[in-house]
Amino acid sequence: MPVSLRQLRVFQAVAHHASYTRAAEELNLTQPAVFAQVKLLEDRLGLPLMERIGKRIYLTDAGQVVVEGARDTLEGLDRMKMRLADMRGLREGRLRIAIVSTAQYFLPRLLGAFCTENPGIEVALTVTNRQAVLARLVGNEDDLCILGTPPEGLDVIATAIADNPLEIVARHDHPLVGSHNIPPERVAREPFILREPGSGTRLAGERFFTARGLTLPMRMELGSNEAIKQAVIGGLGLAVLARDTLALEGQTGLLRVLDVAGFPLLRQWQVAYPRGKHLSVVAEAFLDHLVRNAQKAVEAGAAPMAPTQILPEAG
């Protein structure tokens, strides 16, 4: 039952998207060509691999076995190519990374430096929310994932690469701006703009106040750090945000960090991958690059923050 790598790649794409149309778009093929490759693979193996129920496509038990085998085969082939390139003094291949949206404020600088040193590398970067990154991590869809602390019980290898402190921010003319050591009880009387449920930033902020018997009064829930900053500037409330997201705000002075007792909340950025995963040569090199340079990149991004505008005011 000879099967081709092309058939495995096509089948893997269809299984990933649960759609012939989206797989065709990813592979730059026509939908009939994708369907034909899957049908040929089924004929070669002598078993149905997919079934359509209503408008949705599902893997059969045989299809699940094949998609796992296809992933192992194609990843093994990619690792072989990368190691051969490394032996020739080159570094080539594809690097797949998923990051939570807050990491977009520092990760591109690290990627840029890495790709400049290794111009033969192709990067696929997915920027999404924490829940989606966790789902991709569990599904082994990427080489590396960058997020805050992974939840307990998730069987992954996680390495801390940089500090990720959280601050409480307010509009520049808020009555609490300029106050020192503000009690959390006072802050909890203010309306808050929060990230979506499942956000690492939101979870950390809520844990802090819950541990003190307090509940944050939510005025609005938004799925974007930039939207939250604009809501705070608009006077809609306070927000808990990662310090990384505030660097450019130091140039406008429209936001201020409040001096709240217990803040900043000290967290760390983590790079994670499933335990037992075999990292490619490129992924191992980028992991080493992150460990060596992520903290410097985070600090460099924070440099534009003017102490009198963003950090708690002195005196």
In a domain, 45, yes or no: yes
pLDDT tens per residue across span 47-96: 999 998 888 888 999 999 999 999 888 888 877 876 776 666 556 678 99
* 261: CB partners within 8 A, 6+ apart: 181, 182, 183, 184
Are residues 250 and 177 both part of a single domain?
Answer: yes
If one counts the domains in the chain, the total is 3
pLDDT band at 304 (very low <50, low <70, confident <90, very high): very low
Domain with 11 in it: what CATH number? 1.10.10.10
Domain boundaries, position 187: 166-257
**Strand boundaries in 23-137, DSSP class E:** 50-53, 56-59, 93-100, 121-128
Q: Is the pTM of this model over 0.85?
A: no
pLDDT tens per residue across span 198-236: 888 999 999 999 999 999 899 999 989 999 999 999 999
Q: How far apart are CA 240 and CA 243, in angstroms?
A: 9
Whether residue 309 is predicted with pLDDT greater than 60 in this model: the reply is no
123 Cα distance to chain centroid = 14
Domain with 222 in it: what CATH number? 3.40.190.10
In a domain, 225, yes or no: yes
Q: How far apart are CA 115 and CA 29, in angstroms?
A: 28
In a domain, 17, yes or no: yes
Q: Which of 251, 233, 260 is nearest to 170 (CA)?
A: 233
- Residue indicated by tokens 């335990």: 275
Are residues 277 and 205 both part of a single domain?
Answer: no
Q: How far apart are CA 272 and CA 144, in angstroms?
A: 6
Are residues 185 and 37 both part of a single domain?
Answer: no
User: CB count, 10 Å around CB of 14?
Assistant: 28
The three-state secondary structure class of 118 is coil
